[in-house]
Structures are given as C-alpha cells and as structure tokens.
C-alpha cells in the first residue's frame, strides 16, 4: 500500500519533506499540498514532477478523500488548527515542532487525541532519530559513567531571518533541547532560568541573541543551553554530559578532520537540513510505515505539550530573569510508554 500524503505549508521544511517523500522514502506519494501562497505549491510540484492537487487552504487537504495522512509544515501559529482538524478526520498527522505555540494549544490537542481513543499525532522532534544522540543515550544507559550530573548543550544557527523574535529562541529553537534532554535522561524538568548576555551586532533589531538557559530536572541534573542563532560560522549542535565517573561527548556526524597547510580543520554544517538530514529521513519513513499499519508512534502530542509547557515557563523566566518553576502534570496512561 502507498500512503497518500497531503502537505500543509510549502516553505523551507515543507519543501524539504516533499523532496524526501518524493526522492528518498519508500511507500508514500505526495498527492496534495496547500499554502497561503498557492502559486508556491505549483512551483514545488513542478520542481519534483508531482501530479497533485494544489489548494490555498489546509482544511481542503485534510478533507480530501485522496489523502490518507497529513504533514503540517506551515508556520507554528497555524499548527493547532490543522492538527485538531486532522484528528477530527481520523487521519494520522505528522506536525513539525512546535506542536502549538502555547501550552494550552498543545493541551487541546492532547485532549482531542485522547477523546479520539488512539494516537494520531507524531511531532517533528527529529533528534531522537539521530545516530549521534542515540549513541550518547546508549553510553549513558550502560551505566559505565555513573549518574548524569550536568548536561551542556550548544544550539548555534549561522543566522536567522527577520521574522525571528527573542521569544522564538525559547519557543522555536530551544524546544528541541527541552524535548531531547528529557528523552536522554528519562527525567522531568523542575525549574528554568534565562540569562541574557551582551547582544551580538548580527542580531536583527531588538532580538536578544545569544541567550543562556539553565534548567534543573526533578532529579537535580543541571542543564545549560547556549543558544546563539546568529553565530555566523555555521550550524552547531553539541551535547556533553558530565557524569559521576566521566564525561560523555555527543559525537559529530561523520566528518573527516583535515590537517593541511599549517591548519587543522573540520567542516561545520551549514544548517539543520544538512546536520539532521538522515534523522529527518528516518522520522518520516517511520511515520509512513506506521501509517500503513494504521498506527502512529514516535514523539507524541504529550511530548509536544511538555516541550511547550517548558517553553511557557521559559518565557516567564525570560521576562523576569528569575528561576521559574516548570509545572508538568502527570503523564496520562494513554501516553505512557511501555
Ligand atoms: P517557512 O516560513 O519557510 O515556511 C512556512 C510556510 O507556511 C510558508 O510557505 C507560508 O506561506 C506557509 N503558511 C503560513 N500560514 C499558512 C497556512 N495557514 N496554511 C498553509 N500554509 C501556511 O518556515 P519553515 O522554516 O519551513 O518552518 C515551518 C515549521 O517547521 C515551523 O513550525 C518551524 O518551527 C518548523 N521547522 C522545524 C525544523 C526542524 O528541525 N524540525 C526545522 C525548520 C523548521
Ligand atoms: C528551526 O525552526 C529548527 O527547528 C531547527 O532545527 C533549529 O535548530 C532552529 O533553531 C529553528 O529556528
């Protein structure tokens, strides 16, 4: 069976996912797509020689009887509406992060999915599909380094566009760390603080960049996130875990360090597309394979809710500069993993 996919939003990641569904993955076909700028849909269809229906409204994609499963890749504030509509239509939906831009929006999705009685939502947190994070988790789980004490994360983008705001540092970029560190440590957050250093001259007017976040987990692990979204030199994601009996450093994706002409150098990825290319392939192939079996796995609406709740506390902390509690309710049995 081929899973017939409808895509909502054909911006940067929407196009990249259309490329992978068309040229990389097995068992799926793009049959429809929408964007508020409908001409861009036809352009993407032409680029990948797709014969599909172009709509100017995401609800038409969801309602189409030709569409089995939905990819929501439009801008963050539009996600909630489309994910709720997909749940109502009973169609599996892969939604790029953030699941919704508010914790309340994520909670509405969680409630709608539980009322539907089965998982329909996978959130586009791709890092748990990345080989480097998986190796790090295997090392930590082996117990050879003792208990984790401190996690040092780096999240650097070369640059961001004009529409990027200070808040997005927390709600759009650091949500990846909020999700992956919970997954890595099997722990939940207790508090968050955001510290704002001197601003870079490269930030667009008014944007606080860099930002430094300190999170504490319920077990007392301290996490630092060094976010710098206009670092200029490339896309750099790092994660070092200081444990009782040693330190685990997340490896880099396969790179060959080179010594030549008096220099030692190593390629730095240009952007998230390059750094996580394989992880995106695996997460979407898994969505497609599961959709064939009428099921959904991977990062859940609950994971999306926890990340956005942590981001909401981060927003309070950003304004106050104070250590702010992160209040996450108990995970419902519906989402508890075996
Ligand atoms: P983008 O601005 O390039 O694309 C967004 C697209 O959505 C645009 O084409 C816009 O016209 C369209 N759009 C806006 N409102 C719409 C609506 N109501 N219906 C249909 N289309 C609509 O942004 P992007 O970088 O592609 O990001 C899109 C989403 O993907 C964001 O939520 C972002 O956080 C997420 N993202 C995730 C990753 C990742 O690493 N997982 C990377 C990049 C972006
Ligand atoms: C972007 O939206 C992503 O999700 C990237 O993975 C992240 O690194 C970047 O900071 C975000 O803006």
**Residue ID of nearest Cα to ligand 2 atom 11:** 173
Q: Judge whether 95 lies within some domain.
A: yes
How confident is the model over 86-143, as pLDDT tens digits?
A: 999 999 999 999 999 999 999 999 999 999 999 999 999 999 999 999 999 999 999 9
Percent of residues, the chain, with pLDDT higher than 70: 100
Beta carbons within 8 Å of 282's beta carbon, 6+ residues apart? 126, 129
Domain identity same for 177 and 153? yes
**13 pocket-lining for ligand 1 (C-beta < 6 Å):** yes
Q: Residues 57, 81: contact at Cβ < 8 Å?
A: no
Whether 74 shows a pLDDT value over 70: the answer reads yes
Q: What's the mean pLDDT in 176-186?
A: 98
Domain identity same for 138 and 31? no
Q: Judge whether 338 lies within some domain.
A: no
Report the helix count and the strand count for the chain, using DSSP H and E. Answer: 11, 15
Q: Which CATH number goes with the domain that contains 11?
A: 3.40.50.720
**34 pocket-lining for ligand 1 (C-beta < 6 Å):** yes
Q: What's the mean pLDDT in 314-330?
A: 96
167-198 burial: b if 16+ Cβ within 10 Å, else e: bbbbbbbbbbbbbbbbebbebebbbbbbeeee
Whether 338 shows a pLDDT value over 70: the answer reads no
Pick from 283, 254, 253: which is nearest to 17 by CA? 283
Report how far residue 187's alpha carbon sits from residue 220's, in angstroms, rounded to the nearest whole number.
9
Provide the pLDDT confidence category of residue 306 given band limits of 50, 70 and 90.
very high
**Ligand 2 atom at minimal distance to the Cα of residue 164:** 12
**157 pocket-lining for ligand 2 (C-beta < 6 Å):** yes
**Ligand 2 atom at minimal distance to the Cα of residue 155:** 8
Domain identity same for 121 and 193? no
How confident is the model over 226-283, as pLDDT tens digits?
A: 999 999 999 999 999 999 999 999 998 878 899 999 999 999 999 999 999 999 999 9
**Residue ID of nearest Cα to ligand 2 atom 12:** 173
How confident is the model over 184-197, as pLDDT tens digits?
A: 999 999 999 999 99
**8 pocket-lining for ligand 1 (C-beta < 6 Å):** yes
**272 pocket-lining for ligand 2 (C-beta < 6 Å):** yes
Report how far residue 87's alpha carbon sits from residue 35's, in angstroms, rounded to the nearest whole number.
20
**Residue ID of nearest Cα to ligand 2 atom 4:** 173
Ligand 2 center to 134 CA (angstroms) = 19
Mean pLDDT, the chain, integer: 97
> Number of structural domains, the chain?
2
If you write DSSP's letter for every residue of 87-113 in order, what string do you get? HHHT--EEEPSPS-SSHHHHHHHHHHH
Q: Judge whether 164 lies within some domain.
A: yes
Domain identity same for 65 and 169? no
Domain identity same for 81 and 165? no
**130 pocket-lining for ligand 1 (C-beta < 6 Å):** no
Q: Judge whether 212 lies within some domain.
A: yes
Range of the domain at 253: 128-271+307-329
Domain identity same for 47 and 151? no
Q: Judge whether 337 lies within some domain.
A: no
**269 pocket-lining for ligand 2 (C-beta < 6 Å):** no
Q: Judge whether 334 lies within some domain.
A: no
Ligand 1 center to 78 CA (angstroms) = 9
Domain identity same for 196 and 233? yes
Q: What's the mean pLDDT in 316-329?
A: 96
**171 pocket-lining for ligand 2 (C-beta < 6 Å):** no
Report how far residue 197's alpha carbon sits from residue 208's, in angstroms, rounded to the nearest whole number.
8
Q: Judge whether 336 lies within some domain.
A: no
Ligand sitting nearest the alpha carbon of 57: 1
Ligand 1 center to 327 CA (angstroms) = 28
Cross-strand pairs, 231: none
**272 pocket-lining for ligand 1 (C-beta < 6 Å):** yes
Q: Residues 302, 119: contact at Cβ < 8 Å?
A: no
Query: Exposed, middle or buried, 288 (CB in 10 Å: 0-12/13-18/19+)?
Result: buried
Ligand sitting nearest the alpha carbon of 98: 1
Domain identity same for 13 and 80? yes
Domain identity same for 246 and 162? yes
Domain identity same for 55 and 24? yes
Report how far residue 110's alpha carbon sits from residue 305's, in angstroms, rounded to the nearest whole number.
8
Q: Which CATH number goes with the domain that contains 142?
A: 3.30.360.10
Q: Which two tokens stand for residue 66?
A: 């030709």
**324 pocket-lining for ligand 1 (C-beta < 6 Å):** no
**58 pocket-lining for ligand 1 (C-beta < 6 Å):** yes
Ligand 1 center to 261 CA (angstroms) = 42
pLDDT computed for residue 252 by the predictor: 87
Domain identity same for 171 and 225? yes
Domain identity same for 160 and 22? no
Q: Judge whether 335 lies within some domain.
A: no
């Amino acid at each position: 069976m081929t899973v017939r996919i409808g895509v909502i939003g054909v911006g940067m990641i929407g196009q990249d996912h259309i490329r992978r569904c068309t040229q990389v993955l097995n068992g799926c076909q793009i049959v429809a797509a929408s964007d508020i700028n409908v001409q861009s849909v036809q352009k993407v269809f032409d680029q990948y020689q797709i014969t599909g229906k172009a709509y100017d409204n995401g609800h038409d994609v969801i309602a189409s009887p030709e569409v089995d499963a939905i990819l929501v890749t439009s801008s963050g504030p539009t996600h909630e509406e489309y994910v709720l509509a997909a749940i109502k239509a009973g169609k599996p939906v892969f939604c790029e992060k953030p699941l919704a831009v508010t914790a309340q929006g994520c909670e509405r999705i969680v409630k709608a999915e539980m009322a539907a009685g089965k998982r329909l939502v996978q959130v586009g947190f791709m890092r748990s599909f990345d080989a480097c994070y998986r190796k790090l988790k295997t090392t930590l789980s082996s117990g050879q380094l003792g208990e984790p004490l401190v996690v040092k994360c780096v999240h650097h983008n070369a640059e961001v566009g004009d529409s990027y705001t200070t808040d997005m540092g927390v709600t759009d970029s650091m949500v990846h760390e909020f999700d992956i560190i919970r997954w890595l440590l099997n722990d939940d957050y207790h508090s968050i603080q955001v510290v704002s250093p001197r601003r870079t001259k490269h930030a667009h007017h008014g944007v606080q960049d860099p930002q430094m976040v300190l999170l504490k987990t319920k077990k007392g692990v301290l996490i630092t996130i060094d976010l710098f979204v206009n670092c200029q030199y490339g896309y750099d994601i790092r994660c070092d875990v200081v444990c009782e009996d040693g330190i685990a450093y997340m490896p880099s994706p396969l790179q060959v360090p080179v010594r030549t002409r008096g220099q030692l150098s190593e390629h730095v990825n240009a952007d998230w597309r390059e750094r996580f290319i394989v992880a995106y392939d695996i997460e979407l192939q898994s969505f497609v394979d599961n959709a064939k079996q009428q099921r959904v796995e991977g990062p859940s609406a609950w994971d999306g809710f926890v990340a956005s709740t942590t981001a909401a506390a981060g927003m309070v902390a950003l304004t106050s500069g104070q250590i702010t509690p992160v209040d996450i309710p108990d995970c419902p049995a519906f989402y508890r993993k075996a």
